[in-house]
Amino acid sequence: MASMDDLPISVMGSNFKRNSVVAEPVTDEEGSDSPESRVGISHVRSGSTTPRNRQASPTHSPRLGPSRLGSFDQSSGDVHHASSFSGFKLFGFSSNESLHKLKVDRRVKKRAGIVWYRRKRFKGILILILLVGMFFLVNWVMLLRLQEQDDIIQEHDDNEANSNPELPGNVSSPKISVQGKRKAGRRKWPKGNYGRLLALAAHALAEQGENKPEPKDLWQEPVIASSAWKPCADQRNWESSVERNNGYIMVTANGGMNQQRVAVCNAVVLARLLNSTLVVPRFMYSSVWKDVSQFSDIYQEEHFINYMTPDIHIVKELPDNLRSLDLEAIGSVVTDADVVKEAKPSFYLKNILPIINKNKVVHFLGFGNRLAFDPLSFELQRLRCRCNFHALRFVPKIQETGALLLQRLRQQESYPGPLDKRLVGPFAKSTMNGNKARSPKASRYLSLHLRFEIDMVAHSLCEFGGGEEERKELEAYRAIHFPALSLLQKTTKLPSPAELRSEGLCPLTPEEAVLMLAALGFKRKTKIFVAGSQIYGGSSRLTALTSLYPNLVTKEKLLSTSELQPFMNFSSQLAALDYIGCTAANAFAMTDSGSQLSSLVSGYRIYYGGGRMPTIRPNKRRLASIFSKNNTIEWRIFEIRVRKAVRQTKHVFTRPKGRSVYRYPRCKECMCWTGT
């Protein structure tokens, strides 16, 4: 476009003369310089054209108000010019029109920006709503699956109960059964207050899939620190006691297989302490366990006698002259009520030795955990370990079936576990098929001891979500099997179930156990061997566990009915199979560190494991605090806190004073420190 200097003088003159009034800047209503007017002047002078907009539309025409310098007469259509910039035209362009077009253009752009922003915000909100909806849909589907499995199991139990009304709810059933007088499947057990956390756990396991690696320490111990301890309880530093004999000690041990094992080891120590001959211990028939098995039905009697001969003298029966005596009449029967729990050696020297010297025999009836761990001399403590870890071997019948159990747990893999030979003896070779090239990782499995039998549940005085029906059932059980505890409950104010749980004195429920495993990082495909089939509440109580970890097995599932037939109605022998399955596992998890099976299994794994047999010991007090926040805690925070609580229990340390050498064998009496 031509500049002003290039225009003809006549044009400039004519226009200038016609608009001879001096232009003044347009002001707004408050009299200040309008920035739009300044922009409009600049636009006109630059000679640029006005952008296309909706100026031509009547609906967007500017409404010009009256001015003190000019007016517009609508009736006559005459324009009265005044000294106003609104009427000033330059080169055929109206500055007022240009200014208005610029305003409209800005308004259009602004509106377009607002529309774009609203559309983007709407899309973002829609995507967020879809994601939240999908999350709740996945959780709803998982909860629905849990409920469907619960209904299927419930229907199966009802059908089984109807078809076999006389089937007892004891260990003879090859399926997970219910203890107590209540029939299996009669009641749907609640999942407690953990429905939300179980849904989060199911979602986390589904997301984990196959690609996400498990935590590095999940299947490991602190190898360097733990491998420095070596077994050495078989070393003897004293002379044989065969020549010395003050009399005979008879022991009838109560409880299940694991309590009986502890009683045998204590009896060996007492025989040495009192310079007496030990009669091969007998096992008391229990109304809880209902097992008539004796020592020779579970352990190799000849190996036990021969191995312990350098330490004590052992016979199978009392001499004839003592066998005919009425031991109770002569005061030679000592019950648990006569001996305090974890009595010191001085108690026996003061109270029991005189009976032996007088009557030449003493019978400990119902003998259990009646010998303290401290103070005890070095050699007596080592004798205790020697009996537990070296002298007690399972009979061939149990070893053979145990080897078969391990073979199927490892899915016919050739890799034998490091403890197989010590657990199943010569039958460990049967687990090898000649192919030694397979990776040991392919056969690893986790063993879990769910200490949730009715005796444990009733004795704990805790509540487990069963309401009034559960409370009445457990009270009736305590009245029969734990009368002293039942009387104490009525005559003494005991801590409430909530207080007991907050202090970590309640066994973990199956729901809490599966949440712990999921939080630790075990994948959904992990094979889990569950020890103990007498779960209080029956198979429905395992719904959460089997739903999150479908690759769950028991000895009843792995072994056929014919293979289990020799052990039917012998709970202690079946417990020996559980002992083998748990001890040989690549990782072992317990739900109650106070149970004898968990104590013995974890100690055996420490003693012979060489620092490569990790054990998960939950701190129940810390876990109770975490579980109490189940309605609000996020899954990621739950994982972090559970892993921290469990990791603290993996530290390698020597046996604390007064604690069990069976559970904590890392001490100078049982193991030798080879580190620097």
Half-sphere exposure of residue 519: CA atoms within 13 angstroms, side-chain side: 28
Judged by average pLDDT, the poorest of 199-213, 333-347, 372-386, 408-422 is 408-422
* Domain assignment of residue 364, yes or no: yes
Residue 156 has pLDDT above 80, yes or no: no
Whether 506 contacts 460, CB under 8 Å: yes
* Domain assignment of residue 663, yes or no: no
The residues that bridge with 335 in the sheet, in sequence order, are 365
Contacts of 139 (CB under 8 A, 6+ apart): 199, 200, 202, 203
Confidence of residue 344 (pLDDT cuts 50, 70, 90): very high
CB atoms within 10 A of CB 428: 21
Q: Cα 165 vs. chain centroid, distance in angstroms?
A: 36
Q: Are residues 406 and 353 in the same domain?
A: no
More confident site: 116 or 336: 336
pLDDT above 90 covers a percentage of the chain that reads 53
pLDDT at residue 86, as a whole number: 44
The pLDDT tens digits for 545-587 are 999 999 999 999 999 999 999 999 899 999 999 999 999 999 9
List the CATH number of the domain containing 598: 3.40.50
* Domain assignment of residue 231, yes or no: no
Judged by average pLDDT, the poorest of 180-189, 222-231, 440-449, 459-468 is 180-189
* Domain assignment of residue 548, yes or no: yes
More confident site: 238 or 77: 238
pLDDT at residue 10, as a whole number: 40
Residue 438 has pLDDT above 70, yes or no: no
The residues that bridge with 33 in the sheet, in sequence order, are 27
The pLDDT tens digits for 479-491 are 998 999 999 999 9
Q: Are residues 418 and 552 in the same domain?
A: yes
Residue 110 has pLDDT above 80, yes or no: no
* Domain assignment of residue 417, yes or no: yes
* Amino acid identity at 15: N
Q: Are residues 376 and 516 in the same domain?
A: no
Mean of the pLDDT values across residues 72-84?
A: 42
Residue 383 has pLDDT above 90, yes or no: yes
Task: Compute CA distances 317 → 249, 250, 277, 283, 475, whole Å.
Answer: 11, 9, 11, 14, 41
Q: Are residues 407 and 554 in the same domain?
A: yes
Q: Are residues 261 and 381 in the same domain?
A: yes
Whether 373 contacts 342, CB under 8 Å: yes
The pLDDT tens digits for 196-212 are 999 999 999 998 876 77
Residue 632, domain extent: 194-220+395-431+441-452+507-609+615-649
More confident site: 98 or 622: 622
pLDDT at residue 405, as a whole number: 95
More confident site: 7 or 313: 313
pLDDT at residue 73, as a whole number: 42
Q: Are residues 426 and 302 in the same domain?
A: no
Q: For 277, phi and psi rounded to 5 degrees?
A: -90, 135
* Domain assignment of residue 281, yes or no: yes
Output the average pLDDT for the chain. Answer: 79
Structural tokens at position 187: 């009641």
Residue 20 has pLDDT above 50, yes or no: no
Q: Are residues 350 and 399 in the same domain?
A: no
* Domain assignment of residue 382, yes or no: yes
Judged by average pLDDT, the poorest of 76-80, 208-212, 295-299, 642-646 is 76-80
Q: Are residues 306 and 419 in the same domain?
A: no
The top-scoring range by mean pLDDT among 12-26, 345-359, 610-624 is 345-359
The top-scoring range by mean pLDDT among 99-103, 137-141, 218-222 is 218-222
Whether 321 contacts 286, CB under 8 Å: no
Q: Are residues 342 and 412 in the same domain?
A: no
Structural tokens at position 148: 């469907």
Q: Are residues 404 and 370 in the same domain?
A: no
Instruction: Tell me the three-class secondary structure of 534-586, residue by residue.
Output: CCCCCHHHHHHHHHHCCCEECHHHHCCHHHHHHHCCCHHHHHHHHHHHHHCCC
Q: Cα 45 vs. chain centroid, distance in angstroms?
A: 80
Q: Are residues 524 and 574 in the same domain?
A: yes
* Domain assignment of residue 45, yes or no: no
Q: Are residues 404 and 280 in the same domain?
A: no
Mean of the pLDDT values across residues 347-354?
A: 97
Residue 474 has pLDDT above 70, yes or no: yes
pLDDT at residue 155, as a whole number: 46
The pLDDT tens digits for 265-300 are 999 999 999 999 999 999 998 877 789 999 999 999
Number of H helices, E strands in the chain: 26, 17
Half-sphere exposure of residue 332: CA atoms within 13 angstroms, side-chain side: 19
Domain count, the chain: 2
